[in-house]
Structure 1
């Protein structure tokens, strides 16, 4: 073998190097495809949503603050009745109330499974959590329509449809998410923290409350935010029990609506490009921006937890 052949053999890429380079290219293309798809979806929804305010008398402030939602009609001054405040109020109402209701149950179940009875607790509750995760949304909505709505009607009066019914349904739906992420956060707390607390004379409950829960706070908050994101974007189950009335809710048991319920019930009854259709796309844009806000909040909580 002469010098040129030796040089060529040493400088040529091996088969493993070629495979590695090919794998990097494929990975990059997959990531680029995901990024392009996300930006394309955001751009499409944004263009359609912003079209509501282009060449019309509808302003962003009126859209967000007015309470009359009657696409296709106008008020005395000729401004289309496209006030999204009732749907925004309904969405935030069921989201916040379901999160407030689910958080204590989720933390209690997680503490029982990880701190009080780790073996038996996990054997009993983990299958229940997995079962709740796998139930379709329409089943939750049907149960809410058959059980929750009549219960509220017989207990508090009214029709039974409203924010309270949506809260109960979403509470059951987001409970597995918050519970699972809380369990992961509690298990991530180092064992030496518990041992050090007990060695200093703290009781079991003092250790759980003062040490474990406080150390796991960023992870617990992340789980709560994920649950809120799930509740905010849920459509079918909420639509079946909230009443679908585009009115400002007077109380928790009066029929109301959410952004998702109005979208799902109205998108098939409008013509693409019309003002009514564009208004629905504006609601979709609000949902997309809220999803982005929830994700940014999760990242902020994670960064704050990592800094501690």
Structure 2
């Protein structure tokens, strides 16, 4: 089969499109014929060698969509079944979705019902699941003001579209380091756009709910914009910082505000199907910003790293 293999850490050029043996099923694992996958920042980190547990060579890819090609669980995963897989140790401890076929543990293959095109379904797994889970934790109510920090990211755009599908009266503001992207962001569904300058949001407004996708590097600044009884979810590490040094909840969290988070590693089939139902019932536009063939995964990585992207980058197999 064709696959994209990383043999050593480096830039996009280390993503080698090549022939490798098609994997065979083994007890507890089934073979998925990959139809597409989204490209994620975590895969860029791994490609650069920032995931110390990952040993090369490795086929990256923490997600994929496709159909069951060969199965060891015909009852739950019959041949031809449309499936989604994400997270676990996919693309890290074992080979992931950057290939024509992926051998995956049965427990992390999720059978779904969907009428979406493959390129649209491929834009959903990690990105929309993360957005959906985070919004659930924010407990959105009618007319909330929602700030999404990291608004041009795939998860940010997904959260905007899902929030509007949940309640069209929710007012969504997105942050960006480049206000030249404002019109594009509003085209994606944002009501307002604010500047994120050197880790400080250039506004004095407060928000009922905040989704901070930049992470520990900006959380304290975001907290200062949270309204009384508001909720902030730190769900992302786009800032490249993984923890908060000397975290003191009493001084960092203003009185009567609430901090939560969402890990997309906690995957539930019911949540995936509920999310898909919302997307299809509410006609949410999940179409990706860019679509590449498997042979151009290196170009997809380069584009995502360039900072030009707004929304989701997808590879079709």
Greater helix fraction, Structure 1 or Structure 2: 1
Fold equivalence (TM over 0.5): no
Q: Which has the larger radius of gyration?
A: 1
TM-score (ref. length: structure 1):
0.24
Q: Which is bigger in relative contact order (C-alpha 8 A, separation at least 6)?
A: 1
TM-score (ref. length: structure 2):
0.24
